[in-house]
Amino acid sequence: MISANSNSSGDRFELLVQSVTDYAIFMLDRDGIVVSWNAGARCIKGYEADEIIGRHFSCFYTIEDQAAGVPALALYTAEHDGRFEAEGWRVHKDGTPLWANVVIDPIRSPQGDLIGFAKVTRDLTERRAAQDALRHSEDRFRLLVESVTDYAIYMLDPIGTVTSWNMGAQRFKGYAAEEIVGQNFARFYSDEDRLAGLPSRALHTAQVEGRFEAEGWRIRKDGSRFWANVVIDPIRSPQGDLIGFAKITRDLTERRDAQRALDEAREAIIQTQKMDAIGKLTGGVAHDFNNLLAVIVGSLDLARMRMASGGDISRYLDNAMAAAERGATLTQRMLAFARKQELKLQSVDCIALVRDMAELLQSTLGTGIAIDTHFPLAMVAAHADPAQLELALLNLAVNARDAMPGGGRIVIDAAEALVSPDERPDLAAGAYVRLSVSDEGDGMDVATLQRAREPFFTTKGVGKGTGLGLSMVHGFAQQCGGSLTITSDGGVGTTVNLWLPVAGADAVVATIVDHAPATQNSDQPLVILAVDDDELVLMNTAGMLEALGHTVFQASCAADALRLLEQGEVDLVVTDHAMPGMTGAQLADAIDQLRPDLPVIIITGFAELPPHASKRPRLDKPFRQAELARLVARVGHQGAAARPIRLAPQPGDI
């Protein structure tokens, strides 16, 4: 301590004070004149001892504080109150301001007389700057939060009481800050949600899991509802104690309404497209079937007139049969397009299948078409129905021929391909066999290429194509688990790729089917119950069976069939599937309960039967007498072993 009146007995105390550098510690006389100065004062104020001792301490104050008499007031307060403490701006020697904490204590003699003052000053400029920066940051953040109008951002205490409120919350919910602060946030929920405990569950979830997010209806001040997205996050102290929750709400009502309107518009468009497709489908079906019916009706009408005069009617019957077979083919194509045909999926050697088709392809396409095949020496088997695959390839080859009216070359090739996950939207990941049919025609433009797989779309002209060829192949490929793709360039030609999955190790190997006509009469005549709700179909089926030498009883519904079975024994039941009240599959189930050993043949025009009925003997419409005879001969003997009672013919049954 440097002092005008130094005292040698205070050497140790002086050494202590002089060693302090974080605090300015110095003495004033009764009038405020500096009489001592330590190292901390020199560091903080910037004055050397010989520069400041003897000067009034008011030089440390700003001009404004000097004019206001703050230094004198500080000394007066210290003298009369025993202490003065304050924070404020002080002035460094170089004129720069510093924020200081000041403590002034009076120094008195043993007799109580005022000798002077002890003044301790601490420089808090950096701390104040940090506090100011924090306060400014908080003010900016508060201004930011309060200015946001698209989100309701507010705080809750640990029990859900609203403690802050921004402009977005006021806009969404309708409450001013003074109306809602101090209220529980549960009032934003509907009565049903409050009764269900949703508000408390939301806070509990946020507290336990660290976050809660949901969408739902919320209630405004006026009672109206809005659709909100809500996020609640817990707020914790540095020690981890729960202080409250931050809640952010966004009004999604307009977006939800817009999305619903978009969905409704999209659904309306889809419905319109469906109706347009149905219109095209029904129009195409009606056109083609009317042509076929015209041939059948006309041929039968001519046959009737010719038969009356004793003439030969075989030509007209052949015409009617040919038209009926074309109708059956058209139906099969429609089922293939709808992926509803019955497929017998097997392991197919595509190279052998195309080789066996060579003669059929050449005779169908004519001499003006050259057929080239490009196959690897060996290739894995495909998983497909061999008969339908032959038909598909024949359709593609005919389309390729028609694209080259002046003749040309068709290339059929095959390759193995591996599709990785997410590579193709139309194919699952795995191994495939790609069969391609390419022509050298004029190709397709973009519009034609986009519509090529639509049913009844054709560019061949009126009466030259049904427009079901590509759609049938497309449906067949998808039903096998594959796909059909088309590439075409104008003036270059078209390539149709048929993608089929590779057959698994346990797949059934395709075998050659014997299509030879069956014997018209089985070894043993049977008693057969025929069931169909269509009188014409029932009469036709019964006539075929009787012509084979069997005894036939007829029932027009499942209930009549069960009634007849209760009266006696039959060897076989032949029933239609699509009947009102009780289907053919349900009738077969009922017969199993009544006669477990009685075989039932189900006749159907649909591809699909209930899973439990799919293993029963079935016959697809339309069918010929030979097909019916083969199936009856194969399964009918199972029920002929024991016939203790015969059905007595009922009036109108035969």
**Separation between Cα atoms, residue 535 and residue 528, nearest integer Å:** 17
| Model pLDDT, residue 9 | 46
Domain 2-128: state its class.
Answer: alpha beta
* Whether the predicted pLDDT of 155 surpasses 50: yes
SS3 of 574-605: the string is: EEECCCCCCCHHHHHHHHHHHCCCCCEEEEEC
In the three-class reduction of DSSP (H, G, I as helix; E, B as strand; rest coil), residue 343 is classed as coil
Both structure tokens of 356: 């066996």
DSSP for residue 529: E
Q: Give the right CATH number for 346-501 from 3.30.460.20, 3.30.565.10, 2.60.40.10, 3.20.20.70.
A: 3.30.565.10
List of residues 6+ apart from 53 with CB closer than 8 A = 2, 4, 34, 35, 36, 37
Given phi > 0 = left and psi -120 to 50 = alpha, else beta, which region is 32?
Answer: left
| Model pLDDT, residue 360 | 78
* Whether the predicted pLDDT of 462 surpasses 60: no
Q: What are phi and psi of 228, to 5 degrees?
A: -125, 145
* Whether the predicted pLDDT of 580 surpasses 80: yes
Please say whether the dihedral angle defined by the alpha carbons of residues 175, 179, 181 and 184, taken in this order, is positive or negative: negative
* Whether the predicted pLDDT of 210 surpasses 70: yes
| Model pLDDT, residue 556 | 92
**Separation between Cα atoms, residue 491 and residue 403, nearest integer Å:** 11
**Separation between Cα atoms, residue 108 and residue 39, nearest integer Å:** 25
pLDDT level of residue 65 (50, 70, 90 thresholds): very high
Record the pTM: 0.41
Domain 148-251: state its class.
Answer: alpha beta
| Model pLDDT, residue 242 | 93
* Whether the predicted pLDDT of 592 surpasses 70: yes
Q: Give the right CATH number for 527-639 from 2.40.50.140, 3.40.50.2300, 3.90.650.10, 1.10.3720.10.
A: 3.40.50.2300
DSSP for residue 313: -
Give whole-number Cα distances, 66 to 55, 122, 393, in Å. Answer: 14, 20, 108
Give whole-number Cα distances, 174 to 168, 220, 447, 619, in Å. Answer: 9, 6, 55, 71
pLDDT level of residue 540 (50, 70, 90 thresholds): confident
Q: Alpha helices of 234-339 — where are they, by DSSP H?
A: 253-308, 314-337
In the three-class reduction of DSSP (H, G, I as helix; E, B as strand; rest coil), residue 485 is classed as strand
List of residues 6+ apart from 24 with CB closer than 8 A = 38, 40, 41, 43, 44, 45, 119, 120, 121, 122, 123
User: For the segment 330-375, what is each residue's pLDDT rounded down to a tens digit?
Assistant: 666 565 555 455 567 889 999 999 988 888 788 778 888 899 989 9
Of 554, 498, 522, 478, the closest CA to residue 633 belongs to: 522
| Model pLDDT, residue 341 | 53
Number of H helices, E strands in the chain: 21, 22
| Model pLDDT, residue 1 | 43
Beta strands in 36-91 (DSSP E): 36-37, 84-91
Give whole-number Cα distances, 482 to 284, 348, 428, 498, in Å. Answer: 27, 14, 8, 8
Of 598, 636, 602, 634, the closest CA to residue 618 belongs to: 602
Residue range 433-443: average pLDDT? 89
| Model pLDDT, residue 19 | 67
pLDDT level of residue 615 (50, 70, 90 thresholds): confident
Tally of CB atoms within 10 A around 277: 13
User: For the segment 275-284, what is each residue's pLDDT rounded down to a tens digit?
Assistant: 665 665 566 5
* Whether the predicted pLDDT of 120 surpasses 90: yes
Given phi > 0 = left and psi -120 to 50 = alpha, else beta, which region is 106?
Answer: beta
Please say whether the dihedral angle defined by the alpha carbons of residues 163, 166, 171 and 177, taken in this order, is positive or negative: positive
pLDDT level of residue 296 (50, 70, 90 thresholds): confident
Which amino acid, 17?
A: V
pLDDT level of residue 652 (50, 70, 90 thresholds): very low
**Separation between Cα atoms, residue 253 and residue 250, nearest integer Å:** 9
Residue range 496-518: average pLDDT? 63
